[in-house]
Amino acid sequence: MPTISPDRLAQVFVEIADTLVEDFDLFEFFNLVTSRTAELADVAAVGLLLVDHHGHLQFMAASTEEARLLELFQVQTEEGPCQDAFHSGTPTVNADLTTADDRWPEFAPRAVAAGYRSVHAIPLRLRTNVIGALNLFGADTGRLDPTDVKIIQGLADVATIALLQERTIQRVEALTEQLQSALNSRVVIEQAKGVVAQLHNVDVTEAFELLRSYARSNRLRLLDVAQAVVTAPATFPDLVPG
Amino acid sequence: MNSPVGHVRALIAAEQIDGRDPATAEGFLRCLCAAAVRAVPASGAALNVLVGDGSFGLWIDGGAGSKVITELQVTLGEGPSVDAHATRRPVFEPSLGDSGVTRWPVFAAGAMDLGVRAVFAFPLQVGAARLGVLELHRTAPGSLTDDQLRVALTFAQVGVSRLLGSTEDLDGSGTDGFEAANADQAVLHQAQGMAMVQLGVSLGEASLRLRAHAYATGRRLTEVARDLVERRIINLDGEGAQSPDEDLDEDLA
């Protein structure tokens, strides 16, 4: 029985279409995709990873940036649902992490210890390229309904197109240029987290929330705020906790 | 040594000749350009390094007059390296004679006079820290294949690592924070931001000081980074202040 509500899905697609405008904010977009996927699929958390020039998956964004969750994305360098989805180009669905130790000896026990019981990964595809994955974590055991898997694949495909900001890729170079830019942008965000953590004596997770709130309140792109915070930290007196 | 980075480092080491000593920063970068030309392959390569006021300073020529083509861009204020630096993303122009003319009318004409038909510029950067640009030239038009792009990006990555003070063994046998696992990468970048604020220096300088601290205390860069982020080290200031890579500073002076 599919979980995803058609009405809610229609609303999400409209939301996504609305973000594909001139002031496109890549990281807010990733946040939208991961948050909405989590809500539609009724799972605890969703993360988005992109591939680098070595073929390694790198964390880009998640529905929640808790440290223990981020580690679960980062531990999947050699094995895990994202590796499987990335290499096969097809969804990886796992209903019960407690029986997955043989399949993923490093990843499965850590995911269970973090409180998750099911995991799924949907590849981010552009024609013959797989450029990353959406990683879903559930607090309960249970498969994703096949119809839901198709819908989430559709969302993932839309996210991929948005990343490349072109309906058709005119130039072969566009994909690499865009991926490299996105990967470097994530680094800027990590550096900005460090700057804010140091300036305001908070941990890096709270630093991220401060950056996001500031960007939203001032209608700025998260990346632009991060960039400016790292370049000129003293010019953000309003960026304070509380 | 099977890793792509280790392989590239070995290629760079193999370019050592009289007058080009990879133990110095400038020598290493010259070997890097020469190795990139052979490996990608390309007809020429140039690597420029930003100096303190944010302008392109040190020019490394990979041969075949490549330096002239990148210097032309500084004179004109236009070109693929100028764009790559400004936009913080790679800029690839496989067809200088067609789309290249639209993008950079004066530069394209000048570069084509010098025989160049395709240019690929890779910003050398770690997040907001911009260090320079690696530029590859070809005398025939056409895109780089996926494999060639991977190789070129790895050369750029090794260039960044060297510019951030890595005096990694040329056979790649030591540990280098920039080849660390995913989880360590995020912590390393957060630590760069924290150190930048603590020390009141640029991001690039903060990265050098993190490395210097690790070097001076005999610890791995990623351990120092994690200690800083998790507040086991409160402040880097005054600890291990000397950079191990003074010759780069001298080259830029």
Radius of gyration of the CA atoms of chain A, in A:
18
Asked if A198 reaches chain B (Cβ–Cβ under 8 Å), the answer is yes
| DSSP reduced 3-state for A154 | helix
Instruction: Please compute the mean of the pLDDT values over residues B99-125 and round it to a whole number.
Output: 94
B198 vs A198: CB contact, 8 Å cut-off?
yes
Does position B242 have pLDDT exceeding 50, yes or no? no
Asked if A173 reaches chain B (Cβ–Cβ under 8 Å), the answer is yes
Chain B residues whose beta carbon lies within 8 Å of the beta carbon of residue A227: 128
A190 vs B127: CB contact, 8 Å cut-off?
yes
Of A57, A73, A191, the CB nearest to B127: A191
Per-residue pLDDT of chain A (242 residues; tens, 9 = 90+): 677 888 888 888 888 877 776 567 888 889 999 999 999 999 999 999 999 988 889 999 999 988 788 888 888 888 999 999 999 999 999 879 999 999 999 999 999 999 999 999 999 998 788 999 999 999 998 888 888 899 899 889 888 887 776 444 456 677 888 889 999 999 999 999 999 999 999 999 999 999 999 999 999 999 999 999 999 887 776 676 65
How is A56-87 classified by DSSP, letter by letter? -EEEEEES---HHHHHHHHTTTSSSHHHHHHH
- Report the range of poorest mean pLDDT among A135-139, A225-229, B139-143, B169-173: B169-173
| Vertex A51 angle, CA A136 and A107, to 5° | 45
- Mean confidence (pLDDT) of chain B: 83
| B190, B231 Cβ separation under 8 angstroms | no
For residue B120, the Cα-to-chain-centroid distance in whole angstroms is 14
A187 vs B194: CB contact, 8 Å cut-off?
no
A56 vs B4: CB contact, 8 Å cut-off?
no
Chain A residues whose beta carbon lies within 8 Å of the beta carbon of residue B182: 56-59, 73-75, 77
Q: Which residues have a Cβ under 8 Å from the Cβ of A219 and sit 6 or more positions away?
A: none
What pLDDT is attached to residue A234? 79
- State the DSSP code for B20: B
Length of chain B, please? Answer: 253
Q: How far is B18 from chain A (nearest CA, A)?
A: 33
Give the residue numbers in B contacting A (CB under 8 Å), as ranges. Answer: 4, 87-92, 94, 123, 125-129, 143, 149-150, 153-154, 157, 181-183, 185-186, 189-198, 203, 229
Q: What are phi and psi of B194, to 5 degrees?
A: -65, -45
Q: Please report the ipTM that was assigned to this predicted complex.
A: 0.81
For residue B107, the Cα-to-chain-centroid distance in whole angstroms is 23
Q: How confident is the model at residue B94 (pLDDT cuts 50, 70, 90)?
A: very high
The b-or-e profile of A11-42 (16+ CB within 10 A means b, else e) is ebeeebeeeeeeeebbbbbbbbbbbbbbebbb
Q: Which residues have a Cβ under 8 Å from the Cβ of A55 and sit 6 or more positions away?
A: none
Integer Cα distance of A216 and A28 in angstroms: 9
| Vertex B122 angle, CA B118 and B123, to 5° | 145
What pLDDT is attached to residue A21? 66
Q: How confident is the model at residue B152 (pLDDT cuts 50, 70, 90)?
A: very high
Of B129, B183, B189, the CB nearest to A74: B183
Of B94, B190, B195, the CB nearest to A173: B94
Q: How confident is the model at residue B174 (pLDDT cuts 50, 70, 90)?
A: very low
Total Cβ atoms within 10 A of residue A44 = 18
Mutation target for A interface from B126, B194, B224: give the one with most A CBs within 10 A: B194
